[in-house]
């Protein structure tokens, strides 16, 4: 019983779109949505108990598998984000020399990135540098997301 309640509690922070992937009964979905808006500790505890009670009628294995898949997706997205940050920092530090390494590792031909780095080198204000750092990060992130799929 407590295991089902804990499983239900893991569903509370999920977005509605993520929750829809689980094909739960409507009353379970409503109980989860209600739990998101409850701020009172005691009321939230009772709502979690209700979710656990409603979960008794469901097969928990597909829910566990779905949560595992969501966690794997989140972990992969975090890895791509971290790699994009590292590449951005290296590109800013080493300049166009690092573009060749980036192209080789990703298997892409990237002229826009070289242009952004050239603009960064001649940027005259802190604001312009900050904007270009963001643009470089976004471009690197886009490329890494594409190859990660």
Shared-domain flag, residues 108 and 43? no
- 124-148: per-residue pLDDT in tens? 999 999 999 999 999 999 999 998 8
Domain shared by 25 and 89, yes or no: no
pTM: 0.63
DSSP letters spanning 5-73: HHHHHHHTTS-HHHHHTT---HHHHHHHHHHHH---HHHHHHHHHHHHHHHTTS-HHHHHHHHHHHHHH
Same domain, 87 and 141: yes
Q: Which domain holds residue 39?
A: 2-58
Average pLDDT, the chain: 91
pLDDT tens column, 5-41: 899 999 999 988 888 888 889 999 999 999 999 999 9
Number of domains in the chain: 2
Residues 141 and 113 in one domain: yes
Residue 67 lies in a domain: no
Residues 81 and 120 in one domain: yes
Question: Are 52 and 98 in a shared domain?
Answer: no
């Amino acid at each position: 019983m407590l295991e089902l309640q804990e499983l239900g509690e893991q569903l509370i922070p999920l977005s509605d779109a993520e929750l829809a992937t689980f094909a739960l009964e409507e009353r379970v979905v409503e109980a989860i949505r209600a739990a998101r808006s409850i701020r009172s500790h005691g009321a939230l505890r009772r709502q979690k108990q209700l979710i656990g009670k409603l979960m008794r009628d469901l097969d928990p294995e597909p829910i566990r598998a779905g949560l595992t898949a969501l966690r794997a997706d989140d972990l992969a997205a975090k890895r791509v984000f971290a790699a994009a940050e590292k590449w951005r920092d290296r590109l800013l530090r080493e300049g166009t020399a690092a573009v060749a390494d980036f192209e080789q590792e990703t298997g892409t031909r990237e002229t826009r990135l070289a242009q952004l780095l050239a603009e960064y080198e001649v940027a005259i204000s802190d604001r312009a540098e900050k904007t270009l750092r963001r643009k470089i990060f976004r471009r690197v992130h886009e490329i890494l997301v594409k190859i990660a799929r």
